Amino acid sequence: MLITIITFIIILSILILAHEIGHFFVAKKMGMKIEEFGLGYPPRVYGVKKGGVVYSLNLIPFGGFVKILGEENEDKAKEDPRSFQNRPWSARALTISAGVLMNFALAVVLLSIGFNIGIPAILDEKVLAETSTRIKNKEVIISYVNKGSPAEKVGLQVRDTIIAIDGEKANNISEIIEKIKERQGAEISLEIKRRKTNLTKKITPRTDPPEGEGALGVGLAKIGIVSYPWYLALWKGAEATFFTFLAILTGFWQLIKGVFIPQAVPLEVAGPVGIAVLTGRAIDQGWIYVLQLTAILSINLGIINFFPIPALDGGRFFFLLLEKIRKGKKVNVNLETLAHQVGFYALIILLAFVTFRDIFKWKEKFWNAIERIVGG
């Protein structure tokens, strides 16, 4: 569990730090005065001033922050031409957007590394048709389990790897289907691998399954470790980032529909506890899954941060758009500051709600982990 917590902190720190580095470099390039660039969050442990910027190391080990002169509408910044508020509209817009863009860029880099080294993928016709694809460690996994099926009753799970049926090795989907058909109505011994553990399940394939379901009540998919030359890996990383971006946006749309339309089924929202649980599962699967999870979370962070909610980058960008629409007339400083403060506290309340809900949902895992850490 300690490894999971440390990995979770490292992932979160990388995501936030990448975001803040984006703000830092673009703000500097746009001629803004950076007052402080901090690793972690205050209280400050150590700081050194170089080139007019305080570089600090802080006690709370989550990501970092960038303090730009005038970003919080301070009085002292009103006359300084390097103040955020005194820079051109385009410079401010680019600086605010830079953190989100850096999160997307980080996802491209991580996924490109994965595609170059080797990443788990479903071996569909498109993958198999690519001449530059390198594939190893082919295996057949369970892709879904039907409710009320023999598979569900004996505890088969999504991502279980099928190794053998009655001691006979199962190398591809057609072989598995054929072996199961031959044994319908009779109990079989199904050898599977779950994470790093081999298990044997006794199961009886149905002779007359419901329409659209198989004898066991599972879906099967062939997967393998797929890798590409570096120049193709870059393209694949960018492509995967784009499609993940679209998938997450679709998910958020479904979530919003679920709030206003009773017929729509809202998706799950995970807070820090939920993400920590996902991190633990990724660690169990292997470091390449941790890499993928980090990339997905980076895209997710970028999207959420650009929602037009006060206190987020998207909220700040929204006020910039209002300024543009009003032909350069800025929104009242006090009104904008109040909006960001209200937005900040609303986000804290939402985070607390999601965290407590996650603790309730994962209460057994959560309290077991606490007991292991404190030695109870």
Domain segments of the chain: what residues?
Answer: 2-33+69-116+268-374, 134-227
Confidence (pTM):
0.78
Using only the alpha carbons of the chain, give its radius of gyration.
Answer: 25
Contact 96, 66 (CB under 8 A): no
Tell how far CA 318 is from the center of its chain.
25
* pLDDT, tens digit, 9 for 90 and up, residues 2-22: 787 888 888 888 998 999 999
The answer, yes or no, to whether residue 248 has pLDDT greater than 90, is: no
Phi, psi of 329 (to 5 degrees): -85, 115
The answer, yes or no, to whether residue 33 has pLDDT greater than 90, is: yes
**pLDDT for 1:** 66
Q: Which of 90, 83, 91 is nearest to 34 (CA)?
A: 83
Q: Cα angle vertex 51, ends 50, 52, to 5°?
A: 90
Residue holding tokens 């679209």?
Answer: 246
Between the alpha carbon of residue 338 and those of residues 203, 288, 309, 316, the distances in Å are 62, 43, 13, 12
User: According to the CATH classification, is domain 134-227 in 2.40.128.20?
Assistant: no
Q: Is 276 helix (H, G, I), strand (E, B) or coil?
A: helix
* pLDDT, tens digit, 9 for 90 and up, residues 122-173: 887 777 777 788 888 888 999 999 999 999 999 999 889 999 999 888 888 8
* pLDDT, tens digit, 9 for 90 and up, residues 266-324: 445 555 656 666 677 777 777 888 898 899 889 988 998 898 888 889 989 999 999 88
Maximum distance among all Cα pairs of the chain, rounded to whole angstroms? 84
pLDDT top residue among 260 and 39: 39
The answer, yes or no, to whether residue 363 has pLDDT greater than 70, is: no
Residue 353 CB-half CA count within 13 A: 7
Share of the chain above pLDDT 90, in %: 37
Question: Which positions ≥6 away from 142 have C-beta within 8 Å?
Answer: 151, 156, 157, 158, 159, 160, 162, 192, 218, 219, 220
CA–CA dist 255, 253 (Å, integer)? 5
The answer, yes or no, to whether residue 356 has pLDDT greater than 70, is: no
Q: Which residues pair with 225 in a beta bridge?
A: 120, 136
How close are the terminal C-alpha atoms of the chain, in Å? 14
Q: Cα angle vertex 54, ends 48, 59, to 5°?
A: 75
**pLDDT for 275:** 67
Is the bond preceding 43 in cis, omega lying within 30 degrees of 0? yes
Lowest mean pLDDT among 99-113, 181-195, 285-299, 342-356: 342-356
Please give, one letter per residue, the 3-state secondary structure of 191-211: EEEECCEEEEEEECCCCCCCC
Structure tokens at 257: 């529909």
pLDDT mean over 249-267: 61
